[in-house]
Amino acid sequence: MRNRLRALVLAGVALVAAAAPLPPRPAAAATHPSGGGLTATIRYTEYGIPHIVAKDYPGLGFGEGWAQAADQACTLADGFAAGIPPDAPLGRHQFVVRNGKRIPVSGGTEGLGIWNKTEGRWDPAAGGYDEVITGSSYIQAVGFDGSRCPVARTLPTYSQSSGPSSAHYSDQTELYAAGRMVRERFCAKDIAAAPGLRVLHVRP
């Protein structure tokens, strides 16, 4: 039944694609106007690589979106077959599960022009991308305000511990989902002032 549904969805996408002015492959150029007056010319070279020319940045963005949409028809078909609408919130279908809790994950692939790299494992039975395979792991932003200590925010998106029983198994992953980072402490006085500071002396 699932294979039949997938076949029907793919057939529907193929019909829609056939009705749209898809660019010829591999080397011809085609100009695609939008309803909003944007225009871009896409030249496809070998291996289906699009080269986009437009008179302004909005047109360039439109051309990039058009080329990506044309190349991602199968991805849309997978989403339709899994019952995921195109306008569904990303975090509802791209997430990780930690101790039974679903944590939404932002980001996407560089092929979509997204800098925050995230590639998930596709599992339609789980409702989308249920685990991150690769992507942004350690994030750091550093600035200087004239003092002796840098001003920094950091975040390991996978959290500090890999042990499910640890209090730090998913705490920073949840910060990542909320768009927050951790204040990094470089100088000794900042470390000493950290809330809940715990000091461990290790000897051989």
User: Which has the closest alpha carbon to 171: 158, 185, 183, 184?
Assistant: 158
* Averaged pLDDT for residues 161-190: 94
Decide: pTM greater than 0.85.
Answer: no
Q: What is the pLDDT of residue 52?
A: 93
Is the per-residue pLDDT at 48 higher than 80?
Answer: yes
Which stretch of 64-78, 138-152, 156-170 has the lowest confidence by average pLDDT?
Answer: 64-78
- 16-28 pLDDT, tens digit each: 444 444 444 444 5
DSSP labels, 134-182 = EE--EEEEEE--SSSS-EEEEEETT-S---TTSTTSSHHHHHHHTT--E
Residue 79 in this model has a pLDDT that exceeds 70: yes
Question: Among residues of the chain, what percentage have pLDDT more than 90?
Answer: 45
Give the residue, 73 or 53, on which the prediction is more confident: 53
